[in-house]
Structure 1
Amino acid sequence: MASSAAPSLKAVLDRVQGATERSGRNLQEIRVVAASKTKSVSALRQVYDAGHRFFGENYVQELLQKAPQLPDDIEWHLIGNLQSNKVKPLIAGVPNLACVETVDDEKIANLLDRAVATVGRKPLKVFVQVNTSGETSKFGVEPAVCVDLVKHITNCPNLEFSGLMTIGMLDYSSTPENFKMLSNCRSEVCKALGIPETQCELSMGMTGDFEQAIEMGSTNVRIGTAIFGAREYPTKDEK
């Protein structure tokens, strides 16, 4: 599987470019985060050697294991739910953590803010995760209170609010509505903060729908299977 990761990455980047051109956008606006959950360090290394620098992990434990074994110019994104007791180990153990995309309550924001201050690193970029599908199985803040959480984060001196993130429904039949809702949330957030929408990223789109997501305004797509192949689940998830 690792041997196919580099050409698979190129194929994904070609599709990203096509979607960008169709929507009349600039390719420089789009970040592809290689979602490497369950994948080996050797598989990640091949994608890295192909020139890629953005990687995303779902589980803190996996990230803590992989990050020290890989070059420190990687920009890591945490793209899975963050539990309170994992905040300190995450910030202390991954100096090149670029972004936490899954902040969905004030408690996690406060813990991140304090942990970043403790290690003395530069402010950490964070996205607010929004539950746009209304599914109880999904993490994320309700759209109606998204602005309140964003305002709280802007008052955390060691955090840098950078955008909004959603997962959407996995059947992909109603994700356009999920994507539209996230875009609407961005409009409300930017109006409340008095900032242009270009200052608020949208993280939406995965292997099954990233082209559509880009055409609908996504600036950050999280792609795993299309780059690395099917996930290899352990018998019991390590969270």
Structure 2
Amino acid sequence: MDIADQVKTIEEGLRRLDVKLIAVSKTKPAEEILEAYHAGQRAFGENVVQELLGKYEILPKDIDWHLIGHLQSNKVKYIAPFITLIHSVDSLKLLKEIDKQAKKHNRVIDCLLQVHIATEDTKFGLDHVEVIELLRSAEFMELTHVRIRGLMGIATNTPNQKEVKEEFRELKALFDGIKASFFKDEASFDTLSMGMSADYNIAIEQGSTMVRLGSTIFGGR
């Protein structure tokens, strides 16, 4: 099945479940991204700012670009003019820099707080306590050019589906708790980004509203 057919098939299934598809286009050439684009896909996820900037310059301007990889504060200024959603906010320092750069462009940038749910120490993210502390902080309350849309998490890379399921279940419980405590009157807190090609079906079962699929669409690297 080619890229266009894959996109149409996956998108049709996810639409019925009210789950949004982010096509992970990192390392993929513009030609392959255009195949997905012409099949109707508009939301693409990139890990590296430099690669994202190169693709932004040459690809259609109605693409919604998502930054899904670890983001350094000194790189925010490059994507602030156009980024649709930053999935990987893992510190108050980074959030403050996003706010600062968004203000320069008279924008409000949508963000997800990345939560560390995996057993691997190599993965980034806030722990549960740090998420609560960030949202309660006076510094967060002062930010006017960022909007927290929800949470993102990456499960442990393991064949143990029970473990993956439990990690996603805990993230969904945290999402629900935060929504009730901090965003109960804000309809915009609506995004739980969890699930990639290897585990997105489990993530959807546990309440994901957004999945990030790369090899499922484009094939292996």
Q: Show the counterpart of 2:165.
A: 176
Whether the 8 Å CA contact 1:103–1:127 is kept in 2: the answer is yes
SS of structure 2 residue aligned to 1:148: helix
Whether the 8 Å CA contact 2:14–2:20 is kept in 1: the answer is no
Mapped partners of 1:126, 1:180: distance in 2:
21
Letter in 2 for 1:225: S
Match for residue 129 of structure 1 among 99, 114, 118? 114
Q: CA deviation at 1:149?
A: 2.2
Whether the 8 Å CA contact 1:154–1:161 is kept in 2: the answer is no
Q: Show the counterpart of 2:124.
A: 139
Q: CA deviation at 1:194?
A: 4.7
TM-score by length of structure 2 reads 0.91
* Superposition RMSD in Å: 1.9
SS of structure 2 residue aligned to 1:161: strand
SS of structure 1 residue aligned to 2:84: strand
Unaligned runs of 5+ in 2: none
Q: Show the counterpart of 1:55.
A: 44
Whether the 8 Å CA contact 1:16–1:211 is kept in 2: the answer is no
Q: CA deviation at 1:148?
A: 2.2
Q: State whether structure 2 residue 195 is matched by structure 1 residue 205.
A: yes
SS of structure 1 residue aligned to 2:120: coil
Mapped partners of 1:217, 1:38: distance in 2:
29
Match for residue 151 of structure 2 among 164, 174, 190? 164
Moved over 4 A (4+): 151-154
**Higher mean C-alpha displacement, 168-177 vs 75-84:** 168-177
Higher relative contact order (CA 8 A, sep 6+): 1
SS of structure 2 residue aligned to 1:139: coil
SS of structure 2 residue aligned to 1:111: helix
Mapped partners of 1:225, 1:43: distance in 2:
12
| Count of aligned pairs between the two proteins | 216
Matches within 5 A, 1:1-239: 4-16=2-14, 20=17, 27=18, 30-92=19-81, 95=82, 97-120=83-106, 122-152=107-137, 153=140, 155-173=142-160, 174-195=163-184, 199-231=189-221
SS of structure 2 residue aligned to 1:61: helix
SS of structure 2 residue aligned to 1:221: strand
Q: CA deviation at 1:187?
A: 2.2
Mapped partners of 1:184, 1:64: distance in 2:
35
Using a 3 Å threshold, how does the CA distance of structure 1 residues 62 and 151 change in structure 2: closer, same or farther?
farther
Using a 3 Å threshold, how does the CA distance of structure 1 residues 151 and 77 change in structure 2: closer, same or farther?
farther
Mapped partners of 2:194, 2:186: distance in 1:
15
Using a 3 Å threshold, how does the CA distance of structure 1 residues 219 and 155 change in structure 2: closer, same or farther?
farther
Whether the 8 Å CA contact 2:25–2:45 is kept in 1: the answer is yes
Whether the 8 Å CA contact 2:66–2:85 is kept in 1: the answer is yes
Letter in 2 for 1:79: I
Percent identity for Structure 1 against Structure 2: 35
